[in-house]
Structure 1
Amino acid sequence: MYQPLMGVVCTNLYMTLAYMVEENRLWSEEWNHYHLMGLLDLNLDDIYHARLKLEGMGLLKTFVKEAEGHRIYIYELQPPLSAEQFFTDGMLNIYLYQKLGQTHFLKLKRAFSDMSINKEEYSEVTRSFQDVYTSMSIQALKNFEGQQHSSSDPDMRYIHREKTETIQISADSFNFDLLLSGLTTAMVPRKAFTATVKDTITKLSFLYSINEMDMQKVVLSSMTADDKIDLDELRKAARDWYQMENDDQLPQLVNRKQPVMYRESDGAGVSKESKLIFYLESTSPRQLLIDLSEGAQPAMSDLTAVEEIMLGQQLEPGVINVLIHYVMLKTDMKLSKNYMEKIASHWARKKVKTVKAAMELAKNEHRQYQTWANEKNERTQKRKTPIRTEKLPDWFIMQEQEQPDAQSKTPAVENDKDFEERRRKLEAIQRKYRKDGGEKGGKH
């Protein structure tokens, strides 16, 4: 159930770590990462990213300490969810369904379920302990040595099965005060928001990208006659809302925003470049396309192209944002999938993970990318004159202005009103970050 979501590398890492622990033991011997690299035939970077995915799925906990100039890690495996927990999780099961499709999803579901027997037609005749066994003497029950030796040693613990924990979405990602501000106690009593209900709302908000205002409608539609929130109805209402907003499409398992570990800006910088980096790191590719259209939903073909490149080239969302930003200004405000894919493939080979690294690579490889763009223009615009030279993003020009020789090689854009109108929406995003001073702590 987990492998389609994480990939085979993560599954192999999990099973290898489990294999390294001897039977009936809690801990394995101490090994170095070089040994793990040899077992898996992977480099350390691949193992690191597989580890992060296992942690995100709740299958691994990692601990580290510094000792004599080197680090020692503890990788503590966590038990996977049971089939019932997984298929009723409300988030993982939706991701799995979207990944596998209906036919294979139902086949997998049948593999983990069996026929239910109605026990109501039977009478239980099981004997209790006292019905079968006689009690020991009072003296035997008071045996102090037996009790003493049964206690575990201070530095030891009994082998047992750990309790499975479901994936937790941070409550900080959803503002319940804002949700409740639009729901009077007459509409929804506050006691209806139990810990389980709040956890479900947080998960649904993350899964379907539902904000607090839209969640109010979802909650209201799930109320029962006795003023309680029906969890099944809540999930159904959230799913219906998403499909209505997204042409009956279910969400994909992709990171919506740049992972925290790959962010390099906290939004405190006042320069236009640092503000733009923060925006690209804290915005999803889908939201970037919406912002470029001033709130209009992006074309499904554009979303599909971006998603396929994200998944196919394994690029982070922030890096994809830089790619969108660069390509749209180079191709007459159009998302050319072939052109994007060519650059994305190059960035994937270079193992680009951060927004800043993507910007730097685009600057350094601009001539090569220009050649690729010209090859496309020669094929699709062979009979059009004059040939327009596209504008570059602000973050590109920032560096070009510091290099007079390079700047002199950047041709000017023709005065074309239609072209400028198409460009206006994208440049509106950049203008938000052009004020170098006096705007600290602004909204992003």
Structure 2
Amino acid sequence: MLLLLNTYPLRVSQDLVFRSKATTLQSSVSVMVYSLSGLDRLTEENVSQAMAVVEETGLSRILVTDSAGKVLYDTRETNDALGEYSFYTEIVQALLGNDVFSSSYRGGAFRSRAASPVLYQNQIIGAVYAYEYDTEQAALLEGLQGNLLRLSAGIAVVVLCLSGLLSRALTRKIGQLLTAIREVREGAYSHRAEVPGRDEIAQLAQEFNSLTDRLQTTENARRRFVSDASHELKTPLAAIRLLTDSILQTENIDRETAREFVTDIGQEAERLSRITEDLLRLTRLDSNVLERPVVVDALPVLEQVMRMMSLVAQEKGTELTYRAEGTCTMLATRDEIHQIIYNLTDNAVKYTPPGSTVQVSLFREGDQVVLTVEDNGAGIPEEDLPRIFERFYRVDKARSRAAGGTGLGLAIVRDTVEKRGGTVEAANRPGGGAVFTVRWPWREGGGQT
């Protein structure tokens, strides 16, 4: 850009001067040729008389030659060319009948030359040559060049300063972002990139912070999950160890007591097995290790679960009923539908007091299949509703463990439903109790039973 700024104006100015010189110099030569064109023959005397009238004082030198190239008139003060033969290129071309002009710029001056033939009755009887050495316009051009150089230098300094400032600002922002990346790479997920501004790097930093927020949330959830899983696994293991130590350290333990201890050990082992199975199921869901879905009719699955849960409900004194309407087919697997209905129904039966009612409904609503499981128990505290589907979250921890719950059933329901494009939500009924609502996209088909 600076090179163009320093060359283009100078080139244009030179061209303008060259065109101006060509016009003025050729005009002057034409006047002199016109004054000599009335002579039938050129001599020193008649040329001097004719040129005395039209002599151009602004020109550096004027030569007039005859047809052989002999100099008859010379404006140089020494007149040392009179009587000599001139073989300037311009004069030679003029004697051949051509109008010639040339100009150059060097050494701080414009050097311009022009020559034209002198004709008498269409015969060349001589030539007029004019030379101009102009330093004034050359000085103006040099002044322009100097101004352009100073302007370019100023622009270059400003550009360098701005480039330095921008480079420092850019380097500082990139450095802050790299520092944040290194901190997060080392595990400091709470670290954030503080990059001000609205440019692309600031936007990149915002995206990085957003990603770090998600990483921190995931890491916190992972740590909480590992902690909760470790605690849940440790509880039955500690109970098993305590019971086995009691058996081993008690001498002459009676058969009935030993039988009770072994029964308790079996229950804790079963609980440990359920926790392990639920953890493996959640791991498969997190890893998207899912069976290929097919169109499943949920009604036969619902009937099977109701037959299984009816005995449990009878033992507890809970009334379990269900109803089904319409064609309830969705894209999933039979095991997934079974797991969802079983977990929600089992959860309702376990955590409602004896004498309560649990109602399970399955129906089609528009382009959705809806499953509701509702009870008339105590309901769920409002502050616990947003976290009810979190892993290992329990509203009443002591009561949940006593009922044999793992704290993973509702988390498995949520993850399984969402993997198949559905939704699940929990709410309290106006008349008391809780209701869980699952919605799947309805799919047409015969259904797998």
Please indicate the TM-score interval, normalised by the length of the shorter structure. Answer: under 0.3
Structure showing greater relative contact order (alpha-carbon pairs closer than 8 Å, 6 or more residues apart): 1
Q: How does the TM-score come out when normalised to structure 2?
A: 0.19
Q: How does the TM-score come out when normalised to structure 1?
A: 0.19
**Greater fraction strand:** 2
